[in-house]
């Protein structure tokens, strides 16, 4: 498993062929969020934002497992105003939500992209050399690395 943090704001985890990529991605993301002071968080808004990020990472990596032939890599890129999450996979087809909405309430599966649409500020996909990259962005909460700090 390759992990790199070449800068404080850009982290890469290569997932290609690794067992349990969803758990590994969550653990990696949790470490990045801790480094960026999203975790442990003193404020409820920051904790909620971190929980949303962990859920979003789980959803896009799980979708790459189920529909993309497995995830290739996870990139986390934190800037002053947003955190961008990117997951690559081998399927060139762009992701699509199920027509008519998510699967039956209370039943597992079929909710991933609806969760992404609900929690992400923006999301999409772009073609890659051997598949695609699904990306999403969430706002960086105030008081974390890269985000504006409040002056008391």
What is the domain partition of the chain in residue ranges? Answer: 2-139
Looking at the domain that runs over 2-139, which CATH code has it been given?
3.30.565.10
How far is residue 96 from each of residues 17, 21, 109, 117, 122, measured CA to CA in Å? 24, 22, 14, 11, 15
> Average of pLDDT values for 61-70?
94
Per-residue pLDDT of 75-130, as tens digits, reads 999 987 899 999 999 999 999 876 655 555 555 455 688 899 999 999 999 999 89
Per-residue pLDDT of 2-44, as tens digits, reads 454 445 789 999 999 999 999 999 999 999 998 888 876 566 7
């Amino acid at each position: 498993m390759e992990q790199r943090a070449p800068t404080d704001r850009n982290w890469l985890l290569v997932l290609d062929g690794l067992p349990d990529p969803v758990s590994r991605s969550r653990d990696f993301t949790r470490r990045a969020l801790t480094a960026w002071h999203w975790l442990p968080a003193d404020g409820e808004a920051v904790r909620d934002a971190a929980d949303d990020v962990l859920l979003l990472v789980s959803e896009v990596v799980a979708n790459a497992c189920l529909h993309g032939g497995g995830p290739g890599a996870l990139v986390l890129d934190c800037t002053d105003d947003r955190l961008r999450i990117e997951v690559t996979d081998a399927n060139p087809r762009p992701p699509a939500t199920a027509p008519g909405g998510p699967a039956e309430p209370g039943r597992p599966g079929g909710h991933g992209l609806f969760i992404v649409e609900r929690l992400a500020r923006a999301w999409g996909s772009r073609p890659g050399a051997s598949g695609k990259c699904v990306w999403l962005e969430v706002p960086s909460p105030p008081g974390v690395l890269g985000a504006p700090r409040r002056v008391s």
